[in-house]
């Protein structure tokens, strides 16, 4: 069964570079990003892991724990991490799952046989504090991921989990938002005290609500 948005993120126990973890316990009340790599000692993965480690403070700020996975064994991960630090100028500061028996890769559908029978594709799963899957992105081995995009989507997911808004095309934190159609104009007046612009009855624009609240608190 493939995983779909809103499903429970499968739990597992695995060996990682930071010791054995039970996934759900390790996540605790945090958000999580679980991302897979085709193989250790590969060039694109090396750059991705260096970047993910550099961005760790940004994930921490958002209460998001990050964890990588590759099907190679633990000793291989440990050796590779030295190369990553040397070439990317950044030590890995999050656990890497060793999945030589493909237990976790199979659980999360990270092996796509038409791409490769042996390597995982570049999967990204964002998991909410309720342990539900909030986002899935799949890249081929030849294309490195954009971790700024992962952070951007997390900003949207966290905002839309608190307020009755959606985020428009190319939105980034701080930009105006869209009021979801299920909110009436009457309710929108109280929910969005900064006001809203009606371009069409189904397209109503409001300033980002938590930005407005932060300004009000500071005033
Ligand atoms: C890489 O990470 O560089 C890579 C891995 C598998 C196939 C192609 C590239």
Give residue ranges with CB within 6 A of ligand 1: 38-39, 42-45, 119, 141-142
Looking at residue 1, its pLDDT comes to 66
16, 47, 78, 138 from 110: Cα distances, Å? 17, 20, 22, 9
* Ligand 1 atom with least separation from CA of 144: 2
DSSP E strand stretches across the chain: 13-16, 19-22, 31-37, 64-70, 96-98, 122-127, 133-139, 165-166, 177-179, 197-200, 203-206
Q: Name the DSSP letter for residue 132.
A: B
Looking at residue 215, its pLDDT comes to 75
Looking at residue 212, its pLDDT comes to 74
Buried b (16+ CB within 10 A) or exposed e, 24-47: bebbeebbbbbbbbbbbebebbbe
Ligand 1 centroid – CA 77 distance (Å):
15
Looking at residue 211, its pLDDT comes to 84
* Ligand 1 atom with least separation from CA of 43: 3
Ligand 1 centroid – CA 80 distance (Å):
14
Q: Could you give phi then psi for residue 123, rounded to 5 degrees?
A: -95, 145
Q: What is the pLDDT of residues 141-195, one digit of tens each?
A: 999 999 999 999 999 999 999 999 999 999 999 999 999 999 999 999 999 999 9
For the question of residue 45 being annotated catalytic, the response is: yes
98, 138, 171, 179, 193 from 68: Cα distances, Å? 9, 14, 27, 35, 41
Among the listed residues 27, 33, 45, 104, the single catalytic one is 45
Nearest alpha carbon, ligand 1 atom 7 = 141
**Alpha carbons 8 and 59: distance in angstroms, whole number:** 22
When mean pLDDT is compared across 76-85, 89-98, 141-150, 210-219, the lowest value belongs to 210-219
Mean pLDDT throughout 29-52? 97
Ligand 1 centroid – CA 143 distance (Å):
8
By CB atoms closer than 10 A (0-12, 13-18, 19+), residue 215 is: exposed
């Amino acid at each position: 069964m493939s995983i779909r948005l809103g499903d429970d993120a499968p739990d597992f126990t695995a060996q990682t570079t930071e010791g054995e973890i039970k996934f759900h316990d390790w996540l605790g009340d945090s958000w999580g990003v679980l991302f897979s790599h085709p193989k250790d000692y590969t060039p694109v993965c090396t750059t991705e892991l260096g970047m993910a480690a550099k961005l760790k403070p940004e994930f921490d700020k958002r209460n998001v724990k990050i964890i990588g996975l590759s099907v190679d064994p633990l000793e291989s991960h440990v050796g590779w991490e030295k190369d990553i630090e040397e070439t990317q100028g950044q030590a890995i500061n999050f656990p890497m799952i060793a999945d030589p028996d493909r237990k976790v890769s199979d659980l999360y559908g990270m092996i796509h046989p038409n791409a490769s029978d042996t390597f995982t594709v570049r999967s990204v799963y964002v998991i909410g504090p309720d342990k539900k899957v909030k986002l899935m992105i799949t890249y081929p081995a030849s294309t490195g991921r954009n971790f700024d995009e992962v952070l951007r989507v997390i900003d949207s997911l966290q905002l839309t989990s608190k307020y009755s808004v959606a985020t428009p095309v190319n939105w980034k934190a701080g930009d105006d938002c869209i009021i979801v159609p299920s909110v009436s104009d009457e309710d929108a007046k109280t929910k969005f005290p900064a006001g809203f612009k009606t371009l069409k009855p189904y397209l109503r624009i409001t300033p980002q609500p938590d930005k407005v609240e932060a300004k009000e608190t500071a005033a």
